[in-house]
Structure 1
Amino acid sequence: MPWLLLLLLAILTQIGDACRNGECCFQELSFWERDSGSVEGPRKLLCYRIFPKDFECSWQYNGDPTNVTHFLRCCLRNGDCCYFEAGTTNRVRFTDQAKVSILQNVTFWVESRVGNRITMSPKITVVLARAFKYDPPSGDMVISKLHGRLMIEWKTPEKQENAIAEYRYRTWNGTWEQGDCGGQTNADVETCALQLEGPVAYEIQLRRHKKDSPTGQWSDWSQSICIPAEILKIPEMNYTVGKLNNSGKRDLILDWEPKQVKQPLNCSEKVNFSLVLRMVSCSCRPKAKKKMKLEKVIQVSGAEYDAIIQTQGTIGPQLNRTFHIPAELDSGFIQDAEFLNISTSEENMTMQWFSLERKVRRYCIEWYPHLANWTDAKCALESFQESKNNRKVTYSWNKAFGIMDLGKCYRINIYASDKPHNPYSWVTVFSVHHFSGDVLKAGPSHFKVKRIIAHEVTLEWNPSPLSKCPGVLKKYVIYCWDETNNKTIGYDVNASALEYTIGNLSEDTFYTIKIRGITTTTFGAWSEPLRFKLDRKPAHKFPFLLLCVLIFAAIVLVAVPVYFVLKRVKIFLCPPLPNPSISSATKFLAEDMKLVRPWTGSSNTMEDVGLREQLLIIEVSSPKVEPEVGSEVKLLNFEDPKGIPDIKERQMGGENDPLLDLELPSGYRRQNHVEIVGEDGPQDPRQLCGQDDDDRKKNGTIFHLSRGRGPCKDINTFSSFSSKTI
């Protein structure tokens, strides 16, 4: 069967020539059509040495990487070529045992096959042993700020000394800015110094390169280093403190809003906020201080604390803000602390209370005078061993340690903890004020009657010494005994009151009154009884005189307004008659008097009657009518006329005196009405204008001149004046 042996030999030969995994395969690849005009294909091929002893080639591919198959082709110096099949990845890593020379020039290129087409990258020739590519900075980095410069420090990768480094950075909306870190001379630690501007957040990346290696490659960029904006000040913070609950704790609520700063793409703000709580109360206890992560709500006891808020960014100094949390005053007892008994003498002092139901290893007792500085407080620690049969805790000390002065007010605080070194573990047992003295003798003094009015009495007293101790004196109780009716009434009075009025008392009755104070635990002693009588008061006489005065005053108050009201009504309903002496109707204007022609009669008559500012009345009578004896011409003048002859002289005129040629002034011709008065009464002037001269003589008219134009356009002369003319 020689043919069978030949077949087995051929199979073994093919198996020996097959490509092994991790080695460069020297078999021929099937031929595919080369696509030289396509824009798709591999590019930027790099081959280099990576540490500790491997080698790597990487490239980029333009196009859809889904159905592509990459082949890394290598041609040695002797002309032999091989290939590595990469599949869809764009990176091939191999060792010095991959049948590829590392000390001689090797030509590399990439063939990418899609379907029945193939694209090739540009060829490169490199000596792999000298083409170093260092690792980028990695691991923990130390970031600090020195003299305004940002310092980044990292550990040198193993066997990668003698390197140079570069950095690049960007802000939240900027592009990459690149800089040089310089050569690294330290074999253990490498550093990079950056000059950054402004309190903004930065994203920084680093890379390394072997010094004096022209064929070497830069390492990849390191992972992003996020540098938050430097914190220039701590955020504003408010806090509120709640009331103590039944567990002896209260809520400390912190409220702050850190300033939001815009971050670069791959960064987030890294600012650490922490709270350092330090217990101030009970100075004799072990130092209790603890740092913890800052939270919104923290539970603390009713003691006094200092809280320190610490803010630490990636760079910049740590910023602190301290605020003071005052102690909870007069909190009283918590739910399971039921009893407190304090006895004080001149030699020693003893306190007793029931322990808490929770686990307690240490009690802290402090006391100090009321209104004194708490820093002067006396402090003592008391260890407690829990017992099922006995929950009472007793603490006593002698005069040498310091006791409370009698008759004074003190503040007492007792705290408990199962972990004395932890400030968060302390709880308040109680916080009260205590009067160190005989409470029975500390009642109100100088109790007396202040005044008695009608059916009530007002009492007053000096305050009790207990009232100066907050929370000790709860109230006063007044005891009132009606001796006549043998009836007792009690009155509760506020502890801050210094007087009280009792009403609804009966007249002609004896009363006995006492007062005492009441504390939270005991009743004070009664004051000395106060006895008084409420006398019957005589009836008062009716005040007739006062009533008369009030009636008279009421009449005056009513009469005066009525008088003035009636006076105003009278003026309104009955206005006064006009006074001619003050009327302008009786006066002639100066320019109107210039138009009156002077009188040219006999010398015995008046030559100048001074017509200015006078009212002229002209009486005309018929010649057939005899003048009456004693009649006279009436010249109305409200001022004494000057230069006018006597009335009797004016009566001497005769019938032959020339007629008065009187032309009415132009102002009077413009009047709308002329009233003519005759013996028969007023007549219409339109009738007179139609009469002849004889008729007018018979009528003997009297013309009253008034402003307005009459029906007669011109009246120039008047005939047959009477013997009494003007």
Structure 2
Amino acid sequence: GVSCWKKCNTHKLFYCSWPPLGPAGNTSYTLNFCFEKRNLCRQFEVGTATSYSPPHRQVYVFENTTVWVEARWGDQVHRTPNHTLHLNKAVKLDPPPSGMPFSKTGGQLRVRVPQPQCHGLQQPPQREARFWRVGDSSWTQVTCETVLVTGEDDSVTCALGVNGTFVVQLRHKPHHWSSYWSDWSSNISVPEEILASPVLSHQLGKLGRDGQRVLRLSWQPVLKEQRDVTYKLDIHMLACGCAESGEEDAVVLGWEMTEHNLTLSGAEYEILLTAVNPAGPGPAQQLRVPAEQRADLSFKEISVAGSTVTAQWEAPVPGDAFCFEQQTPPEPPKQGVCIQQEFPANSIHVERGRALAKPGCHRLAVHGWDAERGWATFALWHHYASNDSLAVPINISAAEAAVLLQWKPSPRAACPGALAKYRVCHAAGGDNVTYSEVDATASNYTLQNLQPGTAYSVGVWEVTEDSEGTCSAWWRFQTKALGPQGAAWRGNLKYLGISLGLPAAAAIYHLSKRRARRLLFPPLPKPVGTKAIQFSAGEMSQGQPRTGLLEPSERFSPAELLLTEPDPSEEAADTGTQTAMPHPDVSQPGPALEKPAAAVVSPPGCGGELPFAYRRQEMLSPVGSPLSGSASCTGHQPGEEEEEEEEGRQGLHQPLIPIALLISDKPIIIRDEEEWDPSPEKSVP
């Protein structure tokens, strides 16, 4: 459609424009105005142009007017819709200028827009914004609000909703229904918002004799990919705020800086570190630097008279201003007195402050300032005001020869320099008092080398800078008497008995186990470990008849018999009482078998001659076993297991059983289970 407006602060010049309605160059346009109150219409032949400024004298601007355009080309006629407006209020403002300051916090864009210089504009115009974020495919349009009106600028807030990097454009219009929106402003590049404060670390040095200390700061950069970030350090000396030092309270550093050193006095400070980019500052990181509590700096003289304290100090260097502060820690710092006047080096000054009547720790300090050095501390003093006794309540834990004293830390210990040390005194009844000194930071002490079962008195006193260091032993206690001497040994013997008794019991059990086994569970008897008769495989075959138990063995050889020659004297004695029995026929040995008459063959390997009874016992033993009850031929003593087996067979050895029995006229051989045959002995002729 057609649009007609005028510029702000102009009354005669109107602009009307419309879009092309036909072929370019072949279409002619007619602009029509109809005035509502006058019932009058006017036509303006425009030609082929698509804009026109009607003569001011031929239009009526203070009443509603209907406007339209007719286009003709060939036989075609086209007409735009009617547009009604009030020409005097049909104002189109210029677009907002470029370079407007802005900030962005929490998705809210704040822009300082200059107020339009338009006559008759009674209230701030309406404003809109459209933004395009990196990655978006189109513009997003939002309505803005004017939240603060100043003399020349309006503070406009537009809700972008999200964080990121934006391109923003603004436009505005008056509130009248006939007015028009201005053109869009130039692009406003809004960087990403800083949402986090820098991560700050620090290292604080000690206060030197020059009254200054160094604070080393370092931090991690924010938004590393952006180089339009600056860092701002705000330094606030809480007790003193002299105007001369105001310029030094802020330091701005570039994006590449990640550390900075500050030279401070001994006063308490507040440090704020803030990262700033075109979108605005991020949240600040706060650092509280405590006041220096211990320094080798002092006033020349301090006196208290009534409700006034007087402090005299000397300026070591010249300066332009100084500050006298009087604090009562741990209360929040109070503003000190700042004197803005130059002073020379080594000048003497006297300051007066309020009385130190309030109980607690009081701190007096003087700081001086000059443009080159900054702030420096000239004098420090701490005083603890209290009417309490210097005696310390204690807890006593007594033993036989020592006692442990414990107490709560004194409030004076938190006031630097107010408490010098503790003094401990103790004495037994009628003895001299013994004194000890304890550090001011201690909370316990042990008295040693005391007499058991003795009554003592003890005291712990605070020693301050203005006290005489007296100590009185008020608290009484008695050390414990020594207990029975054996009481301590009984516990030791108990554990010693357990450690030695267990191995001894195990050894006794092991030794008695064998004896108890032999007494309670004797071994079963074995009949000399023999079998009555043993048949060979040939005898067990079906083709041969079995030999009875007592039948003579055909395989027996007379040479295998152990025959002894009877003693002639015994034979003569028996002749008279016994009937002579015929001897069986035995083949006489040949010459090769002849031996001396008294010779008897000993067991193999033995050189001595044994009685016949023992020879018969030996023949009952298995091959390779020594004689029971005696040492072997080699001198080997029988083992314990062999003794046990031998004891189990003692009942079987009595009476002795002969090896061969002559039944009828042939001997019967008894073999043991190991098929042992006695060694053949030669018969004596």
Instruction: Please indicate the TM-score interval, normalised by the length of the shorter structure.
Output: 0.3 to 0.5
Tell me the TM-score normalized by structure 1.
0.40
Tell me the TM-score normalized by structure 2.
0.42
